[in-house]
Amino acid sequence: MAEKADAESLIPKFKVERLLNQDQNDRRISLLGTIDGFPAVLIAERAAFVSDPDSIRSFHAALTKVQNLGANDIYRWYLASSGLNDHAPSDLKLNLIWPCTEQHILKYSAQTVRIVTETPQIYRDYVRPYMHIKREDGRLNWVFNIIEGRKEQEDVIIRESGEEEGFLLLPDLNWDRKTLGTLRLLAVVERRDLWSLRDLTKSHIPWLKRMRDKLLDAVVKVYPKLDRDQLKLYVHYQPTYYHFHIHVVNVMLEAGTTQATGKAFGLENLISQLETMAGGPDAGMADVSLSYLLGEASELWTNVFGPLKRSETPKFSS
């Protein structure tokens, strides 16, 4: 007990000198200071959320200083305080989806993850028809609202118009819009013929290179403290929505599941793969097998890859 008490008495004695580092998506900081005149490093990391029902209700009831950052269709995002200190800055980033669909509930539920291999035939016969369904019934209205200037225009960092060359650069909803070390941006192209990286062909190589250079130039112009080689560009497969977009993040941002192998495909690597691919200008990413991660609650697992694993007929077909 004496050792524990002695250890606990050290923290109040810590005198802060300066911040050494801030990482883990702003959840961990390293501080330099002194205790009794001797140098010390203190690493502070936010604890995990308590998940029992009573604690969850108490957490929600304690939210204060809720500040809306933006809204588009069913998506809204905020800064808020956990209520521990009325004078403390906002320490929470909130995303609200309302009204949400069953697909949203499945996406954000805990689930076992599988790795699948999507062959060109599986893509053509089952996944492409699934993508088509997901583009119907106004499911991309929130994207088109941004492109057509009806929503989120105050959030547009850079806009370049053009049938093929046009794009918009926006803050990612998971970025707090102030910490460059955790910079997350989203480049949404105006052209509507590209649904995902599967639509990229060798003929798109010059366009991809122009997009890469325009995005890098735009970001370092808006955020002059960053250099081009401090930025990482990638696309997701499977993406959250089927309208081609490129993620731009600070290379110092610690890679979570959204940047992991089986989810993120580097833009430079995609360009290189297309350049070295055999075939004419129409040869492309639809002609290769791709391995990626799927949750067991996802529609692609339950309707396509799960049945295929059991030697059954998938529910989506061309």
Which residues contact residue 222 at a Cβ distance below 8 angstroms, ignoring those fewer than 6 apart? 157, 158
The single residue of 236, 243, 245, 247 carrying the catalytic annotation is 245
Separation of alpha carbons 198 and 278, rounded Å? 16
What's at 123, amino acid-wise?
Answer: Y
Strand 64-72, strand 245-250: pairing: unpaired
Cα dihedral 90, 92, 97, 99, rounded to 10, equals -70
Burial degree of 302 (CB within 10 A; 0-12, 13-18, 19+) = middle
Question: What string of DSSP letters covers 35-52?
Answer: ETTEEEEEEEEPPPPP-S
Burial degree of 299 (CB within 10 A; 0-12, 13-18, 19+) = middle
The residue whose two tokens read 């906002």 is 90
Residue 305's nearest CA partner among 104, 123, 107 is 123
What's at 49, amino acid-wise?
Answer: F
Question: What string of DSSP letters covers 42-78?
Answer: EEEEPPPPP-SHHHHHHHHHT-EEEEEEEEETTEEEE
Known catalytic residue: 247? no
Return contacts of 86-92, CB within 8 angstroms, 24+ apart: 90/65, 92/63
Is residue 89 reached through a cis peptide bond, with omega within 30 degrees of 0 on the bond before it? no
If DSSP codes are grouped into helix, strand and coil, which group holds residue 186? Answer: strand
Give the residue numbers marked as catalytic. 245
